[in-house]
Structure 1
Amino acid sequence: MVSFPDISADLKSAMPELRGRVLANEPLGPLTWFRVGGPAQVLFTPVDEDDLAYFLAHLPADIPVYVIGVGSNLIVRDGGVEGVVIRLSPRGFGTIVAEGDTVRAGTAALDKRVAEAAAAANIGGLEFYFGIPGSIGGALRMNAGANGGETKDVLVEARGVTRAGETVTFTNAEMGFVYRSHGVDPSIIFTSALYRGTLMEPEKIRARMNEVQQHRETAQPIREKTGGSTFKNPPGHSSWKLVDAAGMRGFRVGGAQVSEMHCNFLINTGDATAADIETLGETVRDRVKAHSGIELQWEIKRIGVAG
């Protein structure tokens, strides 16, 4: 059983006004869609943005910090994560408010729920979120997109907290969005986002959301233990086609397998380790590079140390 030195008591004593929950050597596997990985040395769940800012302002600068959302696009390695892992809860960071043609959402809100809230307010333009199995924090971090839409198309501004505990706001332009990434300091922890859509007839919005859902159900292994799209699409190519052409459909390493349904999805068939999944991904990258000369880039985030 992997474990780290317990620093939780020291952190708590240095932060007498802290309100959030601090847990030592807390398993992270159950918090990820792959259901694999070791523990966090410290898992902190802040009550709200002020609590998060207070924690970061008093956290020693030499302690690493990682943020996880719903764990849908994440591999936690088997050796766990040294330092502090921060998990924003729906209770503290999951509020969604639609007003006029705008939607403000906390970063723990599920993308799908934001799309639903927009639709309920007759706000179109966010339907693509209905098909993304993550939270708004990850959507900001990755410029998440699907079915012809991307976060950059509808975001007005994003709010976050710096590693020093200061609150900051970024306009769409300041986010520096590119394909599946952004230009903001990676230490920023996003806490909320403001979107602007277009007022539309509810029937049109619902029809579009139904199309998105049907595509997911027929083309993606959404009922498996998976991390979503594994690799970014190279310019002019589809990753799944490159993986398929390299003969990797259904390929296995231990308990990890390339999905038979969609070649850009890796799945935990039941007993995979994080090492199995990551090794499978690297094997796929090697085979694709050998077959097509194209080097696939990971879209799934990987954190922690090997077991």
Structure 2
Amino acid sequence: MFPDIVPDLLAAMPELRGKLEANAPTASLSWFRTGGPAQTLFSPADTGDLAYFLARLDPKVPVLVVGLGSNLLIRDGGWEGVVIRLGKGFAEISVEPNHRVRAGAGAADVKVARAAAEAGIAGLSFLRGIPGTIGGALRMNGGAYGGETKDVLVEAKGVTRSGETVSYTNQQMGFTYRHSGVPDDVIFTEALFEGRPGNPEEILAEMNAITEARSSTQPVNTRTGGSTFKNPPGRKAWELVDAAGCRGLRIGDAQVSEMHCNFLINHGSASAAEIEGLGEEVRRRVREASGVELDWEIKRVGLSGA
């Protein structure tokens, strides 16, 4: 349990509209369903509420932003500081002229893909294959099945650690493979995408094909964090993991997926330490077998357990 700082925050922020919770469980915030508590969990009402909060928060207090938590591992000791959960106030999706879609950072990628498809906007179907939110796609240049965020983004908006509202053009995002060059302390709040004219039925068929491909090749209905490691240049991470003999490797209730060995699975009671330890063991074996150093794609945060 961390010291309760909620009373002090409320005193400093009398006009705050969002919800604050002390020592909040975080297991439900990530797909792995594990991890220690958040010293403070904040669910802002909207972008204005978020900016108000950040402008008045002590800059020394660490902040972690969470969407759906699909590629997140919170360690067993939890997060000392504030975890910001972007919920309903950041989940709006609207279709605009010129084949554009505007979406809040808390909107699920799949819902944005579907909204575009129903409006006859092609080019955003790849979002169906990313199990996260728009905020995560912006931060990591999320991509799948031949498309990346950088291919369709017009601009992104966010709030800085000091509460200032900022915006970035596609070029200013500094996109590279699974990375954006925007400072880490900027919290994305909204994105504007542009596709191209398309036939709704054909686009939905493309999305269904992506759904079938994911279901047949990835452990989608398990406690997992999605792709564990980034693909090294010119290589496939899963092939390197497989060649190192790690398919099915297990530590406690944490296991390398038999179906797709770039996925780690929590079979029920795995600790964050077991999951991370398994990932590090995989990295060690791949390094010994091939000389390749795998980089984590899953974001690992927080304090180690006692």
TM-score higher than 0.5 here? yes
Task: Quote how far apart the aligned CAs of 1:271 are.
Answer: 1.1
Which of 93, 96, 102 matches 2:93?
A: 96
- How far has the Cα of 1:131 moved from its partner? 1.3
1:28 aligns with 2:42: no
TM-score (norm 2): 0.99
- Which of the numbers 157, 164, 167 marks the counterpart of 1:159? 157
Partner amino acid, structure 1, of 2:125: E
Q: Which of 153, 167, 170 is the equivalent residue of 2:168?
A: 170
What is the identity, as a one-letter code, of the residue corresponding to 1:199?
P
Q: In 2, are the aligned partners of 1:99 and 1:121 still within 8 Å (CA)?
A: no
Count of residues in Structure 1 that have an aligned counterpart in Structure 2: 304
Deviation at 1:113, TM superposition (A): 0.2
Gaps of 5+ in 1: none
Summarize deviations over 1:6-57 as a string: whole Å, max 9, x none.
Answer: 1110011000010100100000011110000001000000000000000000
Partner of 1:4: 2
Question: SS at the partner of 2:82?
Answer: strand
> Conserved in 1, the CA contact under 8 Å of 2:114 and 2:204?
no
Residue of structure 1 equivalent to 2:266: 268
CA distance in 2 between partners of 1:55 and 1:144 (Å):
28
- Structure 2, gaps ≥5 residues long: none
1:137 alignment partner in structure 2: 135
Deviations along 1:65-115, whole A, 9 cap, x unmatched?
1101111100000000001110010x2000000123000000100000000
CA distance in 2, matches of 1:161, 1:209: 32
With normalisation by structure 1, the TM-score equals 0.98
Work out which of the residue numbers 220, 223, 241 in structure 1 matches 2:221.
Answer: 223
Give the one of 177, 183, 194 matched to 1:179: 177
- The answer to whether the 8 Å contact 1:40/1:83 transfers is yes
Deviation (angstroms), 1:4: 0.5
CA distance in 2, matches of 1:274, 1:299: 16
State the partner residue of 1:244: 242
For 1:207 and 1:70, the matched residues in 2 are separated by 25
Distance 1:206 1:50 in 2: 35
- Give the AA of the match of 1:16: P
CA contact (8 A) 1:27 1:38 kept: yes
Whether the 8 Å contact between 2:70 and 2:225 is mirrored in structure 1 is yes
Counterpart in the other structure of 1:204:
202
